[in-house]
Amino acid sequence: MNEIEFNFQLEFWHWLILAAALAGIEILTPGFFFIWLGGAALITAVVALMAPALTWENQVLIFALLSAVSVLGWYRFRHRLVIASDDKTLNRRGEQLLGRSATLSEPIVNGRGQIRIDDTVWRCEGEDLAAGTKVKVVAMHGAVVAVEKA
């Protein structure tokens, strides 16, 4: 029985194509993962260009090690990048409205109405009041503003 010889060599441009494909996937998907794999493929391409005698097994090993180091390094480093804000209501728009005064854009009837604050119309709840009444935001219930007469 004859042995079949497996003769396959990865060239540097294979790694460049992989790097470009992984960068494209990074653009199309949420998160920040594939860019590190693409960077590992790019570095592997440079290594393969500088050392063309490397076997494909060694190239894949280099890519796997670089991928693991870059991904794990990013996950450890990213926790240091968290920027704390002095504003405790940052990205909590409803909480930013507490204590604000505004005028009812529609009357509150049977406990429900609408209020315009800045450029947004919010559903509101409170005692029945006529349109144009000045009110104060006292609480948030999901996306509904609780108001009382100012």
Q: Considering just the CA atoms, what is the radius of gyration of the chain in Å?
A: 30
Question: Does residue 2 carry a pLDDT above 80?
Answer: no
3-60, pLDDT tens digit by residue?
Answer: 666 667 889 999 999 999 999 999 999 888 999 999 999 999 999 999 999 999 999 9
Model confidence band, residue 118 (pLDDT cutoffs 50, 70, 90): confident
Model confidence band, residue 120 (pLDDT cutoffs 50, 70, 90): confident
| Euclidean distance between CA atoms 101 and 114, whole angstroms | 14
What pLDDT score was predicted for residue 96? 81
74 C-beta neighbours (distance < 10 Å), count: 15
Q: Which long-range contacts (CB under 8 A, 24 or more apart) does 105-113 make?
A: 105/131, 106/131, 107/131, 108/147
What pLDDT score was predicted for residue 85? 67
